[in-house]
Chain A
Amino acid sequence: MNVLVMGVGNLLLQDEGAGGKAVEEFARRYRVPPGVEILDGGTSGIELLQYIQGRDLLILVDVVRSGNPCGTLTRFEGEHVPALFRDKISPHQLGISDLLAVCQMTDAMPEKVVLFGIEPKSLDTGLTLSAEVAGNIGRLADLVAEELRLFGVTVEPYS
């Protein structure tokens, strides 16, 4: 089992940091077996390549603007994920879609890629999440756990 759960986004821009906060919450709630790595990727670019290459499963957590009410959770899978990140909204030096393209070219594409998104409210400078987003971070962490279970990973809550 070779799995990465990675939150991405900028912690200094309120809801932009929701991905990192969600994986932090996931790590607080659940014990994962060896072979599952949890990472706060921040806004890094090519540095992340070594972490995503060759995984059996890559779970990304990020803010996703989809026109739904703030705090809405969404899930994407497979080829939709790089397609989403291909849009130039990402200021990553080499964005997630570029990194996945590199994985493809170097025969190190993660076998399965899943993206969980949360609809943001405020992207202003600040360290706190909006109430709508903060209120759903726990649910987002639980969804990551369910995804891992479906993949056959034993995930136990710290009760």
Chain B
Amino acid sequence: MAKRITIDPVTRIEGHLRVDCELDNGHVSKAWASGQMWRGIELILKGRDPRDAWLFTQRICGVCTTVHAIASVRSVESALKMEIPLNAQYIRNIMIAAHAIQDHIVHFYHLSALDWVDVTSALRAEPRKVASLAQGMSSWSLNSSQEFVRVQEKLKGFVGSGQLGIFANGYWGHPAMRLSPEVNLLACTHYLQALEVQRKANIIISILGAKTPHIQNLAVGGVANPINTDSPSTLSLERLYYVKTLIDELGDFVNNVYFTDVCAIGASYRDWTAYGAGVTNYLSVPEFPLDTKGTVFELPGGYIPAGDVGRFSPIRNFEDESFVKGVKESVKHSWYKGDSDRHPWEEETEPGYTDFLDDGKYSWVKAPTFRDAPAQVGPLANVLCLYAAGHEATRKYTDKALATIGRLSGAPVSIEALHSTIGRHAARGVRAAVLYETLQKQWQLLMDNIGKGDTRTFNQPEFPKGEVRGVGFHEAPRGVLSHWIVIADKKIKNYQAVVPSTWNSSPRNAKDAPGPYEASLVGTPVAVPEKPLEVLRTVHSFDPCLACAIHMVDTENAEIVSVRAL
């Protein structure tokens, strides 16, 4: 007899996600993902000036602000077939890469590591052993026994007082936790160090973006950063060299801490390369445009059907028809009226809530398809496509990660192992290392271009009469993001955002095929149904972000404090 478990909400994510699983003999046999996706952006944008759209879209989500801003300006630029000055491309590229590295670090340490790392076990570690282990893996300056002693004392204090604080929600002592006390202490220490390091990415974005949270420097047609190498109130040499320092500090952490930790944890949980593959159609888009027209990119994108890297087909540029025409969204299993399966430019958003119906409608998320099939997006899709396209840095870091995991676990690991829960973490680590190289390169390109005397950062957009359509896409930290805009007589007529988590948290589609979360959970072992840690591991490995339901404080349900009206 199948047993049903419901996890509602899945925590440590942005937004609201419910996951239902049927268990048979200790394994998941069927799964449903149901999300609250914020789908009303067109209601706010209709009738507005397209040049203002990005200021609104960056408010869709608190984590993905920059991401939605970039996709939005690109959608308008695509509709107007604009060219963007080189400096503007490079400045955007630096912000995109810095944001993505920050996002990957935070996802690994702060949003998912606690699925694999047991804080209470770290208390039993011998700091000297941790130091020798860590120093054998990398040259990171903070891998000293003093640092491990300091962190362990701190953790003891928290556990002793019964206040685990930020570590309070873990399944401590769960049978699926398997790291040694030493590796647990190592990971906890890096967890705290990562809090400091991620700020450096934020400083890069705030220098270029003028402000965080919520950047101010974008514009349809470029960026609003005046470049004057001498003036302190503009993007000066002093600021640019400070950005370079921050880039290198980020890179030090990515290469010497994040990447090695991913390999160490991957090796300890090697059996998890057998779980969590799910949908192995992978979709990614090219990113980091290197010319004004958006035809040449630093990182290629494309599509891999059925996990077969040999069948990779590239998506070449912002105009590529195979992408523009390949995307549809079905509402057959989503809480919208009807059962349409349409292109984003033709979509309507008419809510039609039913109850949670296993075989009917059960999610606010629509089901996107590429060439009529569900697709997985995100760092794994991106890394596999880059690998297939022969991208040099990606090959280097992927091979290095596989070799390191193989060495640490005592048996070779092939690229096939990446189609898995732990593979998604490894791919994110590889992507962060690739992005550090990208970041260095984009900074150098910007400096060289300014050195040639080019200080242009903006081209004036010109809106035609009549109707034009555009799509702005972006390989965001969680995968393919696309904004679809219809402009009529200089005003927005329709606007849809198809976000990465729509692809991954998709419900069953028009052909009843399950989405990536749903498919990936089938076969996952669950040791303790009341503590479904293994289900969370797989769901968290996608880095879910179901932006932005409601974030209000609710005292009626919390019943924690009494309320007095003022």
Residues of A within 8 A of B549 (CB): 91
Using known A-B contacts A63-B552, A65-B553, A126-B44, determine if residue A87 contacts B558 with beta carbons closer than 8 Å. yes
Q: Besides the contacts A85-B553, A87-B558, what 11 more A-B pairs have beta carbons closer than 8 Å?
A: A12-B40, A16-B550, A42-B65, A43-B61, A44-B65, A68-B565, A84-B561, A87-B554, A93-B545, A94-B106, A125-B43
Using known A-B contacts A64-B555, A91-B14, determine if residue A105 contacts B166 with beta carbons closer than 8 Å. yes
Name the residue of chain B whose CB is nearest to the CB of A46. B106
Report the separation of the CA atoms of residues A80 and B562 in the bound assembly, to the nearest whole angstrom.
10
Q: Which of B65-116 contact A (CB under 8 A)?
A: 65, 106, 110-111
Which secondary structure dominates chain A's binding surface?
mixed
Residues of B within 8 A of A94 (CB): 106, 110-111, 166
- Contact: A80 with B14, CB < 8 Å? no
Cβ proximity bits B7-32 to A, threshold 8 Å, 1 near / 0 not: 00101011110000000000000000
Cβ proximity bits A2-21 to B, threshold 8 Å, 1 near / 0 not: 00000011111100100000
- Contact: A93 with B14, CB < 8 Å? yes
Residues of A within 8 A of B111 (CB): 93-94
Count class of interface residues, chain B: 35 or more
Residue from the list B44, B158, B558 in contact with A84, Cβ < 8 A? B558
- Contact: A16 with B552, CB < 8 Å? yes
Residues of B within 8 A of A46 (CB): 106, 110, 195, 198
- Contact: A62 with B106, CB < 8 Å? no
Could you give 19 example pairs across A and B, Cβ below 8 Å?
A10-B548, A12-B44, A16-B550, A40-B214, A42-B213, A44-B62, A65-B553, A65-B555, A73-B565, A74-B565, A87-B554, A89-B553, A89-B557, A91-B62, A93-B13, A93-B62, A104-B163, A125-B38, A125-B40
Residue from the list A84, A101, A143 in contact with B166, Cβ < 8 A? A101
Query: Which residues of A line the B interface, CB within 8 A?
Result: 8-13, 16, 40-50, 62-68, 72-76, 80, 83-94, 98, 101-102, 104-106, 115, 117, 120, 123-127, 143
Residues of B within 8 A of A115 (CB): 553
Name the residue of chain A whose CB is nearest to the CB of B62. A43
- Contact: B564 with A74, CB < 8 Å? yes
Interface flag for B202 (CB, 8 Å): yes
Residues of A within 8 A of B65 (CB): 42, 44
Residue from the list B9, B41, B166, B552 in contact with A123, Cβ < 8 A? B552
Using known A-B contacts A10-B550, A74-B565, determine if residue A93 contacts B40 with beta carbons closer than 8 Å. no
Report the separation of the CA atoms of residues A13 and B461 in the bound assembly, to the nearest whole angstrom.
30
Interface flag for B556 (CB, 8 Å): yes
Interface flag for B1 (CB, 8 Å): no
- Contact: B14 with A123, CB < 8 Å? no
Residues of A within 8 A of B411 (CB): none
- Contact: B166 with A92, CB < 8 Å? no
Interface flag for B232 (CB, 8 Å): no
**Residue among A42, A90, A93, A120 with most chain B CB within 10 A:** A93
- Contact: B199 with A50, CB < 8 Å? yes
Using known A-B contacts A45-B62, A74-B564, determine if residue A105 contacts B553 with beta carbons closer than 8 Å. no
Residues of A within 8 A of B199 (CB): 49-50
- Contact: A88 with B213, CB < 8 Å? no
Summed over the interface, the residue pairs from A and B with CB atoms below 8 Å come to a total of 175
Interface flag for B274 (CB, 8 Å): no
Residues of B within 8 A of A120 (CB): 552
Residues of A within 8 A of B556 (CB): 65-67
Residue from the list B63, B195, B550, B561 in contact with A49, Cβ < 8 A? B195
Q: Which of B40-54 contact A (CB under 8 A)?
A: 40-41, 43-44
Residues of A within 8 A of B557 (CB): 87, 89
Residues of A within 8 A of B548 (CB): 10, 12-13, 43, 91
Report the separation of the CA atoms of residues A68 and B555 in the bound assembly, to the nearest whole angstrom.
10
- Contact: A91 with B15, CB < 8 Å? yes
Report the separation of the CA atoms of residues A60 and B558 in the bound assembly, to the nearest whole angstrom.
18
Residues of B within 8 A of A16 (CB): 550-552
Residue from the list A8, A80, A86, A105 in contact with B154, Cβ < 8 A? A105
Interface flag for B59 (CB, 8 Å): yes
- Contact: B553 with A104, CB < 8 Å? no
Cβ of B250 to closest chain A Cβ, rounded Å: 15
Cβ of B417 to closest chain A Cβ, rounded Å: 28
- Contact: B195 with A43, CB < 8 Å? no
Report the separation of the CA atoms of residues A64 and B60 in the bound assembly, to the nearest whole angstrom.
20
Residues of A within 8 A of B13 (CB): 91, 93
**Residue among B44, B192, B558, B564 with most chain A CB within 10 A:** B558
Residues of B within 8 A of A88 (CB): 9, 11
Report the separation of the CA atoms of residues A100 and B319 in the bound assembly, to the nearest whole angstrom.
45
Name the residue of chain B whose CB is nearest to the CB of A100. B165
Report the separation of the CA atoms of residues A156 and B545 in the bound assembly, to the nearest whole angstrom.
42
Using known A-B contacts A12-B44, A104-B165, A123-B550, determine if residue A44 contacts B560 with beta carbons closer than 8 Å. no
Residues of B within 8 A of A62 (CB): 551-553
Q: Which of B315-333 contact A (CB under 8 A)?
A: none
Cβ of A155 to closest chain B Cβ, rounded Å: 18
Cβ proximity bits B533-561 to A, threshold 8 Å, 1 near / 0 not: 00000000000011111111111111011
- Contact: B551 with A8, CB < 8 Å? yes
- Contact: A47 with B202, CB < 8 Å? yes
Residues of B within 8 A of A106 (CB): 192, 195
Residue from the list B60, B158, B564 in contact with A12, Cβ < 8 A? B60
Residues of B within 8 A of A65 (CB): 552-556
Residue from the list A50, A72, A74, A92 in contact with B14, Cβ < 8 A? A92
Report the separation of the CA atoms of residues A48 and B110 in the bound assembly, to the nearest whole angstrom.
15
Residues of A within 8 A of B353 (CB): none
Q: Which of B148-196 contact A (CB under 8 A)?
A: 154, 158, 163, 165-166, 168, 192, 195
- Contact: B566 with A143, CB < 8 Å? yes
**Residue among B9, B11, B166 with most chain A CB within 10 A:** B166
- Contact: B165 with A89, CB < 8 Å? no
- Contact: B60 with A63, CB < 8 Å? no
Name the residue of chain A whose CB is nearest to the CB of B552. A63
Residues of B within 8 A of A50 (CB): 199, 202
Residues of A within 8 A of B256 (CB): none
Report the separation of the CA atoms of residues A11 and B15 in the bound assembly, to the nearest whole angstrom.
16
